[in-house]
Amino acid sequence: MAYNVAQKLIASHLLSGEMTPGAEIGLRIDQTLTQDATGTLVMLELEALGLDRARTEVSVQYVDHNLLQADSKNAEDHDFLRSACQRFGMWFSKAGNGVSHPTHMQRFGIPGKTMIGSDSHTPAAGSLGMLAIGVGGIEVALAIAGEPLYIKMPEIWGVRLTGQLPPWTSAKDVILEMLRRHGVKGGINRIIEYSGPGLSTLTAMDRHVIANMGAELGATTTVFPADDQVNAFLRAEQREGDFTELLADADAGYDITEEIDLSTIVPLIALPSSPGNVVPVREVAGRPVEQVVIGSSANPGLRDFAIVAAIVKGRQSFPGVSFDVNPSSRQILQDMSRMGATLDLVSAGARLHQSGCMGCIGMGQAPANGRNSLRTMPRNFPGRSGTQEDSVYLCSPETAAAAVLTGTITDPRDLEELFNLDYPALQLPAMSSVNLAMLEGPLPAEVAAQVELVKGENISSLPVFAALVDRIEAPVILVVGDDISTDEILPAGARVLPYRSNIPKLAEFTFDQIDETYPTRAAETRDGSGHIVVAGANYGQGSSREHAAITPRFLGLRAVLAVSFARIHWQNLANFGVLALEFANAADHDRIHRDDVLVLAGIRGALVAGTEITIHNRTRDEDYAARHRLSTRQVDMLLAGGLIPWLQERRASETGVRD
């Protein structure tokens, strides 16, 4: 049978199920990735699971999100993460070493391997011919402990690339074109696989840009073949021995197909406040710009910084524009310096920040209220920047550089006339500046067993949640619309992220961007009947942070009734014992109002039987039908109160000993 690349990756790691779209499959996981915004909970979950040592081939913990040390909280969490890596036999990437995705690609990514990460942009590793999927932290913890990953088998969406990108465009414009065509829901329950002759013109790091922002389409992951471009990348990283060719069979097919002629791509830009709100740059040219930020996992390659440096070389940033540069890894910063790009950027007025996510996660670099900020980042959800009334645009490095020089949104092609500037021809170093100094490898097992976890006062234990009840009678204390992101459920940024290991404190920020009264009103239901949230389509899009499921549950959330859910958040809700139901009739969403009391009866039996659940609105004397998409395994897990209690029950039944 002829297989495409995605099918080959899945088939070679398939432990259970069949490769039929919609069926649940279990996959063996080779590698894991965690970062500090989500990794502390993963380590607490490993402790709760009683793990002795990581059972994966490679597991790496990165410190790249919470780098600002305004007080002791972040530093203490970094100490905790380092001690956990030592205890559990994992790699530790120190603060300042780099953003997890490009750094992992440089140092650990291997064609043909599977990887999951507690970061929704984990699919960036698909640029190397890996099957890399973003999931909730608890699922990463289970993979580290040797458990399979269970997902619904996605459809495979084949995108054939032809032609070659014209000057003043780059890989960011390719993924923005996909978002222009399909929006933030277009990839749900799909793996995107790129093929065709146009691939030969895209480097492995170009492909990283495209794979990274496949998450913004809602895709399960993105896959590229492991071909000559991947081999060249690994050779430059002095890891050519890790290369294995992985190509689609000549007559392989796809569930859905599409074609993009790269030669027709024009500079594109995503308007506030969604990655799917994409238009040609020329349509919005002339809007004033106050901030430009270069960096993040969405444009992490050396060429992404070097092209900006070449465009601004010998010129000055426009008065009133804050020109910010976040090198994506220490290694890339070394390469930038070696080729002179760092000097060109600083001479042009750039503010050089440390290697990390920084403004992408709202950790500094917050723009002024209502002032336009152009960023080479993956997301611009409301408030994600750290400013509640933000106005963030997403664009390519070329478009960002044009704004640096002009102070307005400018089609970079216009720089030829405005500055008599030809599109720069870059000469990048043939070999990377490999730097392992800030990577700490696993300790020997006998040494690791003696390590004590270092817990500062800001690190709390995981909350214990009760099993799902058979009847819920609870008020609806929040009604929201479509495309609510996890940034809106639980914000990131310097105000909130330092409490990521302190669930009671973190819960105080839940939904506060939408309704600042929610935490107080929700807490009042916690010890009683609990409460319900009603949502529109694509609820929980964006970041994989499981905190967005845990803190509402901690505050008494029992069920979410939505038109539809984003994949990762839907799974996270089940992982922590929250009932996620979808309206059988989407129009019923508008019939429910805040403070209505809903009654759900016979829940456990309906879940096991797979039948619809009737929801009675006691306030309005109306009934609505709802359904779930849980597998038998997930139903058992939900009934137990979540993934950890279910796993503990399973192990107890196998050993005859309860924890």
Domain ranges of the chain: 5-264, 268-418, 472-655
pLDDT band with cut points at 50, 70 and 90 for residue 126? very high
For 181-241, give the DSSP string: HHGGGTTBTEEEEEESGGGGGS-HHHHHHHHHGGGGGTBSEEE--B-HHHHHHHHHTT-GG
656 confidence band (pLDDT: 50, 70, 90)? low
pLDDT value of position 644: 83
CA separation for the pair 412, 414 (Å, rounded): 5
Looking at residue 286, its pLDDT comes to 97
Q: Does residue 652 have a pLDDT over 80?
A: no
How does DSSP classify residue 264?
G
Cβ proximity of 92 and 83 under 8 Å: no
Answer for the pair 97, 118: CB distance below 8 angstroms, yes or no.
no
- Per residue in 422-465, pLDDT tens? 999 999 999 999 989 999 999 999 999 999 999 888 887 778 88
> Which amino acid, one-letter code, is at 463?
P
Topology (CATH level 3) of domain 472-655:
Aconitase; domain 4 (3.20.19)
Among residues 102, 101, 81, the alpha carbon closest in space to that of 37 is found at 81
Q: Tell me the residue type at 356.
A: G
Q: How confident is the model at residue 655 (pLDDT cuts 50, 70, 90)?
A: low
Q: For the residues 249-274, what does the mean pLDDT come to?
A: 96
The pLDDT, as a whole number, for residue 405 is 98
Query: Is the pLDDT reported for residue 657 higher than 60?
Result: no
* Percentage of residues in the chain having pLDDT higher than 70: 99
508-565 per-position pLDDT tens digit: 999 998 999 999 999 999 988 999 999 999 999 988 788 899 999 999 999 999 999 9
How far is it, in rounded angstroms, from Cα 388 to Cα 23?
A: 40
pLDDT digits (tens, 9 = 90+) for 3-50: 999 999 999 999 999 999 999 999 999 999 999 888 888 998 898 888
Residue 654 has pLDDT above 80, yes or no: no
The percentage of the chain sitting over the pLDDT mark of 90, rounded to a whole number, equals: 78
Dihedral pair phi/psi, residue 15, rounded to 5°: -105, -25
pLDDT at 1: 86
| pLDDT number for residue 461 | 77
Cβ count near 485 (within 10 Å): 26
Which one, of 174, 172, 357, 166, lies nearest residue 263 by Cα?
166
The superfamily CATH assigns to domain 5-264 is: Aconitase, domain 3 (3.30.499.10)
- pLDDT one-digit tens code per residue, 185-199: 999 999 999 999 999
- Residue 499's pLDDT is 84
Q: Name the amino acid, one letter, at 318.
A: F
Amino acid at 266: V
Cβ atoms of residues 575 and 637 within 8 Å: yes
Q: pLDDT band for position 166 (50/70/90)?
A: very high
The tally of CA atoms less than 13 A away on the side-chain side of residue 558 is 25
Q: What is the pLDDT of residue 348?
A: 97
Mean pLDDT of 326-337: 93
Q: What percent helix, strand, coil does the chain show, rounded to 5?
A: 35, 20, 45
pLDDT: which is higher, 71 or 156: 156
Residue 581, both tokens: 């139901």
| pLDDT per residue as tens digits for the range 596-636 | 999 999 999 999 998 999 999 999 999 999 999 898 989 99
Per-residue pLDDT tens digits for 275-326: 999 999 999 999 999 999 999 889 999 999 999 999 999 999 999 999 999 9
| Mean pLDDT of the 502-508 span | 91
In this chain, the answer to whether the domains covering 5-264 and 268-418 adopt an identical fold is yes
What's the pLDDT tens digit per position in 217-228? 999 999 999 999
Q: Residue 386's pLDDT is what?
A: 81
CA separation, residue 362 to residues 181, 377, 584 (Å): 28, 11, 37
- 268-418: what fold? Aconitase; domain 3 (3.30.499)
Reported confidence tier of residue 338, pLDDT bands at 50, 70, 90: very high
359 token code pair: 């403004």
User: By C-alpha distance, which of 605, 540, 616 is closest to 575?
Assistant: 540
Mean pLDDT computed over every residue of the chain: 93
Q: Do you know the residue count of the chain?
A: 659
| Cβ contacts of 364-367, under 8 Å, gap ≥ 24 | 364/68, 364/494, 365/291, 365/293, 365/324, 365/326, 366/390, 366/493, 367/290, 367/291, 367/391, 367/392
Parallel, antiparallel, or unpaired for β 256-261 and 291-295? unpaired
* 254 three-class SS: coil
pLDDT of 102 strictly over 60? yes
Evaluate whether 145 touches 50 at the Cβ level (below 8 Å). no
